[in-house]
Amino acid sequence: MIYYFSGTGNSRYVARKLAFQLGTEAVTIRDNLPTSSCRNIGIVFPVYAWGLPKPVMQFIRRLRDAGIGESTYIWCVMTCGDETGNAPAILRRELAASGLKLSALWSIIMPNVYVLLPGFDVDKKEVERKKLAAAPARIDEIAAQVKRREHVTDVTLGSWPRLKTAVVYPLFLKYGINTKKFRSTDACISCGRCAEVCPQENINLADGRPQWGDDCSSCLGCYHACPAQAIEYGTATRGKGHYSGQQ
């Protein structure tokens, strides 16, 4: 079984492609947990601020009560725009705290989607196309290694991974998730697409306009999926691009 968390669709795409090749099922981490009989568990998720998304941390902590055996092959795939930073170390630490050991880990480069900080924007279309074109071969490679139950770590850490994670990730968790900054402009067409794609079910429509609750991961699925590009996050998204490749 493969469990995934995805906001803009990159990790969902990878999880479903892997599930097809491995002859298994891909389900979201929300309200789903493996049973004690599982002997092969995959977890696919994006890297956020060179760390782990809050829902993924919560999922791993819920695994403590799943009764997973020591012989279970636990493997993970991190999708990232360019690099993982020290996110693999956080993953191993969290799994260990739940009494589990990571058997294998890979990263897959996918299009950049984070736009809430100065200097951060979506990739240019040429770069996006190249990343998406390279993904299937990488997925094939990972699927073959999972089938052989290989124990491998194959990730792109990038430069200064410990420093980036140590400095940026705590700040992201503390200050980078603020739903009060989300708003819809008058361009909103009340289609409800933002609520539909939210992996946390954190958006509701009131009088046809989106209202954000407190259970946000800053995945930006709502921002990128809006067909009218009517969602803003304070002034941070002004002039920033949108990504719709894997919706």
Q: What are 46's two structure tokens?
A: 């994006």
159 and 86 belong to one structural domain: yes
Give the pLDDT score at 176: 86
pTM of the model: 0.95
Q: What is the pLDDT of residues 77-95, one digit of tens each?
A: 999 999 999 999 999 999 9
Q: How far apart are CA 29 and CA 14, in angstroms?
A: 15
Checking if the pLDDT of 66 tops 90, the result is no
SS3 at position 212: strand
CATH value at residue 222: 3.30.70.20
Q: How far apart are CA 7 and CA 50, in angstroms?
A: 16
Residue 101 lies in a domain: yes
The average pLDDT across 122-127 equals 96
126 and 28 belong to one structural domain: yes
88 and 159 belong to one structural domain: yes
Between CA 19 and CA 43, with CA 145 as vertex, the angle to 5 degrees is: 45
Domain span at residue 112 reads 2-173
- Counting the structural domains of the chain, the total is 2
Give 244 or 2, the one with higher predicted confidence.
Answer: 2
**Element at 16 (helix H, strand E):** helix 10-22
Give the pLDDT score at 154: 98
CATH value at residue 117: 3.40.50.360
186 and 163 belong to one structural domain: no
Residue 245 lies in a domain: no
The average pLDDT across 90-104 equals 95
The average pLDDT across 84-108 equals 96
173 dihedral zone (left: phi>0; alpha: psi -120 to 50; beta): alpha
The average pLDDT across 134-140 equals 98
Give the pLDDT score at 244: 84
| Domain end point (choices 127, 154, 173) | 173
Using 50, 70 and 90 to split pLDDT, how confident is the model at 67?
A: confident
Q: How far apart are CA 200 and CA 77, in angstroms?
A: 20
Checking if the pLDDT of 155 tops 80, the result is yes
191 and 92 belong to one structural domain: no
71 and 107 belong to one structural domain: yes
Residue 243 lies in a domain: no
Residue 241 lies in a domain: no
Checking if the pLDDT of 130 tops 80, the result is yes
157 and 64 belong to one structural domain: yes
Checking if the pLDDT of 212 tops 80, the result is yes
The average pLDDT across 149-175 equals 95
Nearest residue to 82 (alpha-carbon basis) of 42, 46, 40: 46
189 and 162 belong to one structural domain: no
Q: Scan for tokens 């089938």, then name that residue.
A: 147
Average pLDDT in the chain: 94
